[in-house]
Structure 1
């Protein structure tokens, strides 16, 4: 006889529109077994219970209504009826809950599909806490998590923003860590991925298209569809975050990498009964060597100030004084910021790790000082000329004596 969970799986697949043949193939059961689940015998005589009254009898109506309303676990419901006088075990409550159906499917029924190697990964954000930066400003900390669905191999990166650019950068770090990527990736309906139910974020869609990855999002209010990464978030909080102290964001990332390598990916997983690091050897990821690296470049136009700076992302970057007053193009990737004028790179800087910073090339500063001291004429500058008449008017002394006298 099939277990309750197996019957729920079959009914769920039928509800999704699959034929009996397809359900049999997906579930691994014979077609006659599938038919027996979805076409139960009608008018089957019910066996009358004999013997003494069950301890649960007086609480069944309450349990049925409460379970269908909330979907609470057997443990929680057992605690509630224990306060009402129930003296039985939680096992009895669980057995009774298995007999409750709502439209043939439990309100919390979720079919777990184990994906083949290299087929799918799941991604999510998690807000972890906050820290005070060097200026005493409180900043939130987010964790990016990617889980390979087959092996449960886990990658974590901590960041201070959840922009689309940051999401793409985290994906690239995860791909580098795993040495490849899956054919599909499952997300929730975050705006960095989807702008609406019918429109994808164009920048993120461009990133996925570069690697040929098929992106999927779960149905609204159906987060359990990507339960692998949801459980990884809970595991991260309970096993790593709680009870630990970190000096700064870099220390948090370093400690997490050690935990990730020595604990998270080396433990025996509760579902697969295997170590993720061992199953990972059978993952069939697409190699990064098969495609060029995706270059994430932010572009913007700026006017060079009179001081010889361009403002970008909250900081100032120096350029040569010859560009003062010109409108230039700024391109920024993960590490470098380039300033272009007429398709020529006129300045290049490391991207500042903090805002309100002045990033200065010493050569630009030297040239600006030379101009300020007048040793080099300012390009296209207007010269101020002061002219004097050659003849100077002379007043006779007699004129002054007449005025005095």
Structure 2
């Protein structure tokens, strides 16, 4: 207890300089977690993160609610907000968010993102929220000025209300630090000094590659999505952005779902279920035909053409194998 009392006397002084920001130089980023449970469907409620961006020169604010704090979702939200602005600042300032740079260096995903944008990522020192105090103060401003008294029916409803409030109120208030001007009025000067967006979109969202199992479902962010069963046993590439989940097998799209922000939900396309039922019925009929000595079974390829699957006795004839006894034939079957 005594050490706790006298420690401030020996800690020293850490003065903070005032920083003057030039147009287009810096933007500060953070995650805000509103104390409100948003309905996400399937009778579930969730506290979801809101990605917040503040342009340091114009004090312009933009934000979007995202489904998780995974790196792919954060970068997808960043690209969405930067695309709304139409340009990118010369540096992006983040705290040590685990998906961005939790160990003090940018993650591979974040490094690839800023490399495509032609900018750089600056990580704040540990336990120093004042390093990006501008966006931190805005989070408190949102908590006290936007959130109270509001009701949200879905994440889309939250984003719609928040976007309107930012445009009509937050970005039209007079700010003393920018010469008693409004952020919306200074935004054009800020954007003019920024770097243009790249011609090709950066790699964002959640991506994964798996071999499709017999149950023809893949898991994305805790939910299971159906895939056309014709590609069972083959590798499929999964891409999930903030709104959609698209699954491809080579160049063919084998599933396209609206992304669910709930957890532990199974999303099935009725066409996939019907196709699985038909394939299952054909498989059983083919087994019966083979057991009865009928013609070889036929399976449809992904592009639609039929692929014959030979009966086992055909291979016996091909390699010159003859079963002369009933016991050998039963053992072979």
**Residue 369 of structure 1: CA displacement?**
4.0
| Partner residue, 1:294 | 202
**Residue 350 of structure 1: CA displacement?**
2.5
Find the aligned partners of 1:360 and 1:132 in 2 and give their Cα distance.
23
2:125 to 219, 222, 225: 219
1:22-61 residue pairs with structure 2 within 5 A?
none
2:140 paired with 1:234:
yes
| Partner residue, 1:81 | none
| Partner residue, 1:317 | 226
Find the aligned partners of 2:129 and 2:280 in 1 and give their Cα distance.
62
2:268 to 350, 354, 359: 359
**Residue 327 of structure 1: CA displacement?**
3.5
**Residue 268 of structure 1: CA displacement?**
0.6
| Partner residue, 2:87 | 180
| Partner residue, 1:274 | 181
2:21 paired with 1:115:
yes
Query: Structure 1 residues 139, 347: CA separation in 2 closer, same or farther (over 3 Å shift)?
Result: same
What is the RMSD computed on CA atoms of the aligned residues? 3.1
Q: Secondary structure at the match of 1:151?
A: coil
**Residue 383 of structure 1: CA displacement?**
2.0
Contact between 2:26 and 2:93, CA under 8 Å: does it hold in 1?
Answer: yes
Find the aligned partners of 1:115 and 1:382 in 2 and give their Cα distance.
78
Find the aligned partners of 2:87 and 2:288 in 1 and give their Cα distance.
56
Find the aligned partners of 2:157 and 2:56 in 1 and give their Cα distance.
28
TM-score normalised by L of structure 1: 0.62
User: With CA pairs under 8 Å and 6+ residues apart, which has the higher RCO, 1 or 2?
Assistant: 2
| Partner residue, 1:246 | 152
**Residue 244 of structure 1: CA displacement?**
2.3
> When you count strand as a share of all residues, which structure comes out higher?
2
| Partner residue, 2:116 | 210
Deviations along 1:190-249, whole A, 9 cap, x unmatched? 11111413x321111111111111111111122111111111111111111123222332
Find the aligned partners of 1:346 and 1:280 in 2 and give their Cα distance.
40
**Residue 376 of structure 1: CA displacement?**
10
Contact between 2:224 and 2:267, CA under 8 Å: does it hold in 1?
Answer: yes
Query: Structure 1 residues 366, 222: CA separation in 2 closer, same or farther (over 3 Å shift)?
Result: closer
Find the aligned partners of 1:381 and 1:277 in 2 and give their Cα distance.
72
**Residue 266 of structure 1: CA displacement?**
0.6
**Residue 381 of structure 1: CA displacement?**
9.1
Contact between 1:121 and 1:146, CA under 8 Å: does it hold in 2?
Answer: yes
| Partner residue, 1:327 | 234
Q: Secondary structure at the match of 1:312?
A: strand
User: Tell me, which stretches of 5 or more residues in structure 1 are unaligned?
Assistant: 1-65, 71-101, 388-405
Q: Secondary structure at the match of 1:128?
A: coil
Query: Structure 1 residues 266, 328: CA separation in 2 closer, same or farther (over 3 Å shift)?
Result: same
Find the aligned partners of 1:264 and 1:346 in 2 and give their Cα distance.
42
Find the aligned partners of 1:349 and 1:143 in 2 and give their Cα distance.
26
**Residue 137 of structure 1: CA displacement?**
3.3
Find the aligned partners of 1:222 and 1:276 in 2 and give their Cα distance.
26
Larger radius of gyration: 1
2:63 paired with 1:141:
no
TM-score normalised by L of structure 2: 0.74
| Partner residue, 1:90 | none
Find the aligned partners of 1:377 and 1:267 in 2 and give their Cα distance.
72
Find the aligned partners of 2:253 and 2:167 in 1 and give their Cα distance.
43
User: Tell me, which stretches of 5 or more residues in structure 2 are unaligned?
Assistant: 295-333
2:257 paired with 1:337:
no
Find the aligned partners of 1:174 and 1:266 in 2 and give their Cα distance.
18
Q: Secondary structure at the match of 2:169?
A: helix
Find the aligned partners of 1:375 and 1:136 in 2 and give their Cα distance.
38
Contact between 2:247 and 2:254, CA under 8 Å: does it hold in 1?
Answer: yes
Contact between 1:302 and 1:310, CA under 8 Å: does it hold in 2?
Answer: no
